[in-house]
Each structure stands twice: as structure tokens, then as C-alpha cells.
Amino acid sequence: MVHDNFGANGLYLLDEPEAALSPQRQLTLLWEIVRCVKQGAQFIIATHSPPFCWEFPMRISSVLTRDQFIAALTKKQSA
């Protein structure tokens, strides 16, 4: 499914994509994401699984905890 729906130059928002996947399917998803990133796609991924992020062989722009994200939003709205 991922192979047919994700592609180059896209922006994808994923909310806990690993939640319903077996470990093998999680690995498959990770490598499909890597394939797309190498082709220019960008991903914003919300996850409760830090190991999901650690598997990426490319630079991750930022990893925020829930509290850090809320603090950043609050600061921006009050400015």
C-alpha cells in the first residue's frame, strides 16, 4: 500500500504509523519512507515509539516531545 501511495516530492503527515503494524511491517514501512525521502519527499511523523525514529539512516530535523510541541505552539501564539 505504501509503495503505491507515497512518492517523490510529497509531504506526508503520519500519526503513529507503527501502531497497528508487526515488527516486520514496521521495518518495511521505514524503508519505504527512506526510499521516498531519497526521492525528495518530506515526512512529519507523530509517534510514541522512539525506536521508530532511531532506525532512520538520514538526518531528522527535530524530534519534539508532546510538551515541547505544545510549548512551542503556545509561545508562537502569544508572540
Distance CA 6, CA 26 (A): 15
Domain range annotation of the chain: 2-78
Q: For residue range 3-40, list pLDDT tens digits in order.
A: 677 878 888 888 888 888 888 888 888 888 888 888 88
Q: How far is CA 28 from CA 10, 35, 52, 62, in A?
A: 19, 11, 12, 23
| Mean per-residue pLDDT of the chain | 75
pLDDT higher than threshold 70 for residue 58: no
